[in-house]
């Protein structure tokens, strides 16, 4: 068995571990939902727990770990270790940095997203985005294995440069960080909708959709997450860091393009859409800091920005031809 095959097996193992973690995080959400509903019922009948018991905790508050949370975090860390081993094995098998094609870019992007999530979790209770982040990571690995997979091999001469390590490495790192900020904004939108009295998220809607997604117990876990303002502020800080990385991606890419092709900018589809991503996030940061765009408008800005990131990676590579087309896919 070759090292590239071992890397593939490790990716499957990481995806399995992440799937277990995702299920455990979902079970934890269900448990929180049940506890929140019980507290509300007791508060209504005056039988013990005061109404303040359901107030969302501060962002830095960490509750004692329960068995299901321990399983979720343990399998997440196990998956991250397997994932890292798979990426390292892939790089050794290919004899280069392991992010030269869509398969490897997806692998490393998911690795960064899980790493950021778990590092933040070490310092504060961040498990409320666990289902979203692990779900994104599992989806990314499944797509990578089934749609983008290519055998480990060298790259064409144009890519045999230290800029492959710097430029593409920073780009994939920024993508992983953007994914975590997107997860936070998704939770923010759900939390804000529930607090605003959304019939669906408060179990008051009717119709076929409500029978599937509108049960009171399904969304009660949102009562235990931080406030929308706290989530929005966290998403802003994560996006600001990712934006710096993406800015360096554009600068580094321009320098590499001048060295490789004799021009800093050539209106290649990948260059154009990378700039579009930069403009969207620059507009978001500007609107957030100088125009007072906060709350739902800011969260939707983040969702649009991450959609542009995904299209830049998948749609541009698959739908357009250009100098940035990845080999083998």
pLDDT tens, 99-123?
989 999 999 999 999 999 999 999 8
Tell me how far apart the alpha carbons of residues 243 and 308 are, in angstroms, rounded to a whole number.
13
Residue-wise pLDDT for 255-311, tens only, equals 988 887 888 888 888 899 999 999 999 999 999 988 778 889 999 999 999 999 999
Residue 60: half-sphere exposure toward Cβ, Cα within 13 Å: 1
Tell me how far apart the alpha carbons of residues 64 and 100 are, in angstroms, rounded to a whole number.
42
Question: In this predicted model, which residue has the larger pLDDT, 54 or 258?
Answer: 258
Question: What length does the chain have?
Answer: 329
> Per residue, what are the HEC states of the chain?
CCHHHHHHHHHHHHHHHHHHHHHHHHHHHHHHHHHHHHHHHHHHHCCCCCHHHHCCCCCCCCCCCCHHHHHHHHHHHHHHHHHHHHHHHHHHHHCCCCCCCHHHHHHHHHHHHHHHHHHHHHHCCCHHHHHHHHHHHHHHHHHHHHHHCCCCCCCCHHHCCHHHHHHHHHHHHHHHHHHHHHHHHHHHHHHHHHHCCCCCCCCCCCCHHHHHHCCHHHHHHHHHCCCHHHHHHHHHHHHHHHHHHHHHHHHHHHHHHHHHHCCCCCCCHHHHHHHHHHHHHHHHHHHHHHCCCCHHHHHHHHHHHHHHHHHHHCHHHHHCCCCCCCCCC
Which pLDDT score, from 0 to 100, does residue 305 have? 96
Task: Estimate to the nearest angstrom the gap between the alpha carbon of 101 and the chain centroid.
Answer: 20
| Overall average pLDDT of the 91-103 stretch | 92
> Would you tell me how many other CB atoms lie within 10 Å of the CB of residue 279?
12
Tell me how far apart the alpha carbons of residues 208 and 206 are, in angstroms, rounded to a whole number.
7
pLDDT band at 327 (very low <50, low <70, confident <90, very high): very low
Which pLDDT score, from 0 to 100, does residue 53 have? 45
Lowest mean pLDDT, pick from 182-186, 204-208, 231-235, 289-293: 204-208
Which pLDDT score, from 0 to 100, does residue 57 have? 57
Residue-wise pLDDT for 7-23, tens only, equals 999 999 999 999 999 99
pTM of the model: 0.87
Whether the pLDDT of residue 67 is over 90: the answer is no
Residue-wise pLDDT for 124-148, tens only, equals 889 999 999 999 999 999 999 999 9
Report the percent of the chain where pLDDT is more than 90: 58
pLDDT band at 319 (very low <50, low <70, confident <90, very high): confident
Tell me how far apart the alpha carbons of residues 186 and 5 are, in angstroms, rounded to a whole number.
36
Whether the pLDDT of residue 209 is over 70: the answer is no
Which pLDDT score, from 0 to 100, does residue 37 have? 56
| Radius of gyration, alpha carbons of the chain | 22
Report the percent of the chain where pLDDT is more than 70: 83
pLDDT band at 40 (very low <50, low <70, confident <90, very high): low
φ/ψ (deg, to 5) at 62? -120, 120
Burial of 310 (C-beta count, 10 Å sphere; 0-12/13-18/19+):
middle
Among candidates 175, 122, 110, 127, which has minimal Cα distance to 21? 127
Residue 153: half-sphere exposure toward Cβ, Cα within 13 Å: 10
Residue-wise pLDDT for 215-246, tens only, equals 666 788 888 889 999 999 999 999 999 999 99
């Amino acid at each position: 068995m070759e090292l590239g095959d071992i890397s593939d097996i490790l990716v499957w193992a990481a995806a399995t571990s992440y799937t277990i973690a995702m299920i455990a995080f979902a079970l934890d959400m269900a448990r929180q939902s049940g506890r929140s509903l019980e507290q509300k019922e007791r508060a209504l009948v005056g039988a013990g727990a005061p109404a303040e018991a359901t107030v969302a905790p501060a962002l830095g508050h960490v509750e004692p770990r329960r068995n299901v949370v321990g399983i979720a975090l343990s399998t997440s860390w196990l998956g991250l270790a397997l994932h890292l081993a798979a990426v390292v094995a892939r790089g050794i098998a290919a004899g280069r940095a392991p992010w030269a094609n869509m398969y490897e870019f997806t692998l490393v992007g998911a690795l960064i997203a899980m790493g950021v999530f778990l590092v933040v979790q070490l310092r504060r209770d961040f498990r409320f985005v666990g289902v979203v982040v692990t779900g994104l990571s599992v989806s990314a690995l499944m797509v990578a294995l089934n749609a983008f997979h290519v055998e480990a091999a060298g790259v064409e001469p144009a890519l045999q440069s230290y800029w492959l390590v710097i430029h593409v490495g920073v780009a994939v790192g920024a993508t992983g960080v953007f994914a975590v900020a997107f997860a936070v904004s998704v939770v923010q939108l759900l939390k804000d909708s529930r607090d605003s009295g959304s019939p669906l998220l408060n179990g008051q809607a009717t119709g076929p959709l409500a029978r599937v997604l509108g049960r009171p117990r399904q969304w009660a876990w949102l009562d235990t997450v931080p406030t929308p303002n706290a989530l929005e502020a966290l998403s802003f800080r994560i996006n600001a860091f990712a934006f710096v990385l993406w800015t360096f991606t554009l600068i580094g890419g321009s320098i590499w393009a001048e060295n490789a092709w004799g021009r800093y900018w050539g209106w290649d589809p990948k260059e154009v859409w990378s700039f579009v991503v930069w403009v969207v996030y620059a507009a978001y940061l500007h609107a957030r800091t100088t125009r007072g765009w906060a709350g739902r408008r800011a969260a939707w800005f983040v969702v649009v920005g991450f959609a542009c990131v995904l299209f830049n990676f998948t749609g541009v590579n698959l739908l357009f031809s250009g100098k940035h087309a990845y080999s083998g896919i």
